[in-house]
Amino acid sequence: MILVLLPALVVFIGITLYALWRRQRTDRREADMENCCTPRGGPCDLAVIGAGSAGFSAAITAAEAGVRVALIGDGTIGGTCVNLGCVPSKTLIRAVEGLHHASAANRFDGIKASARVTDWAAMVAQKQALVEELRAAKYADVLPRYEDITYVEGRARFDDAGGLTVDGAAFPAAKVVIATGSRPHVPAIPGIETVGALDSTSALELTELPASMLVLGAGYIGVELAQLFARAGVSVTLISRRGVLPEAEPEVSEVLERYLADEGIRLVRTGEYRRVEQQEDGMALHLAEGGVIQAERLLLATGRVPNSDGLNLAAAGIETDARGGIVIDTHMRTANPWVWAAGDVTGRDQYVYMAAYGAKIAARNAAAGETRSYDNRTMPWVVFSDPQVAGVGLSEAQARAAGREVVTSVLPLAAVPRALAARDTRGLIKLVAEAGSKRLLGAQILAPEGADSIQTAAMALKAGLTYDELGDTIMPYLTTVEGLKLAAQTFEKDVAALSCCAG
């Protein structure tokens, strides 16, 4: 009998001892945190200000390096991307793509299809459910996995002596990473505060679609949202000072502008916005040229502003640029040697993946004394229009401005077998290379599946490939990415004279 009970007794004793050890460890940890990461105790190893993608990336990276981290959040956890930006916008963009694809199905003989919005509020509710699911899975539920991270709810800022505070109470920290993100820009147009203007956040929360909308700004946010609402049935006017996607290659911008117009989006270019006024049935924007544009709602898409103005940075010796971005060196360090910054608050490369990338560098340099450098030379970027726009590296204008002698290749999508098979030849591919060496410097793709192809160009740039080497790379037939191979061959060949498979 004793022999039968002995294994169970051993297991019971083992479980009890383990539970006691865990309890003692937890008690010690809680005591350490009270002494480390609260205003009552001594300094933390690292305080991270901001609980979005950059803040979480910095906190997790530092915790994995073995330091004690206070992650300070103010408001909804998760930051812009999951709550207000990438996830909600791309979800609704994908939804309305179905409407467009149904109406465009007649490009194939023997097919007729149509689709319409039956319940916009239901779409918005489904979008919000996904936002809440990802906020929990990727942010709130992640914190308990890291014992060295303590989440602190409150508003952080520097006091007049340069010390860190949370909700006005001293919060000593040995080092700090600022990752407070950005917010939508509100242009200084007289009357703008009187018309109930939407921004990229509130527009995606509308449960009823307006009959008409004026989208102010034709950068990536303006283009994406203009097309989204136009496809949902809203009469959209897209207005800007510099045209559609002014930072893209001119060949890309001009062709995309035509495609948007083909979908019924009215495009207006102006030199100045004079004033905005509320009217009985909507609003009116007065232009410098004397024209007036009316719509039921106004959506502002004129960029984003770093959330740096409420931190009292000057008192801590931290500099900002003209747009409020925190000035940092290549190691993500500010003018204050104990403070680093990452993500949108720096005012550069405002993409969630670059925020996370920069935050890892900042955390490693702050936590472990490393000297890692931020490198965006092969940073891919994407505009989720349809066709999608994606790019990496230098544009032709940027390369020439840098003193490079360049050659370019422009391949229309009509030369790509994938586009022919899909009967959708909207788009082009442009490559920029260094004359003489033939080394690739940049690429931009305008194509329905361009977003999933640009990484191949990014890897080619990272590897230092020439256009000959990219043109010799084996790529699968009837894919959009094969267009990169064809575009590379176009530098010196007439691809129309080649057989299939870019042979």
Known binding-site residue numbers for FAD: 90, 180-182, 344
Which element (helix H / strand E) includes 456? helix 454-462
Distances (CA, A) of 256 to 102, 261, 262, 267: 21, 9, 10, 11
Reduced to 3 states (helix: H, G, I; strand: E, B; else coil), residue 388 is strand
Count of alpha carbons within 13 angstroms of residue 488, beta-carbon side: 28
Binding-site residues for NAD(+), in ranges, read 217-224, 303
Residue 200's nearest CA partner among 53, 92, 117 is: 92
- How far apart CA 243 and CA 252 sit, in angstroms, is 12
- For 259-319, the DSSP string reads HHHHTT-EEEE-S-EEEEEEETTEEEEEETTS-EEEESEEEE-S-EEES-TTS-GGGGT--
Structure tokens at 347: 């005012």
- Sheet containing strand 282-287, strands side by side: 273-279, 282-287, 292-295
Binding-site residues, in ranges, read 90, 180-182, 217-224, 303, 344
- How far apart CA 458 and CA 105 sit, in angstroms, is 33
Long-range contacts for 208-211 (Cβ within 8 Å, ≥24 apart)?
A: 208/120, 208/121, 209/117, 209/120, 209/233, 209/234, 210/234, 210/295, 210/296, 210/297, 211/235, 211/296
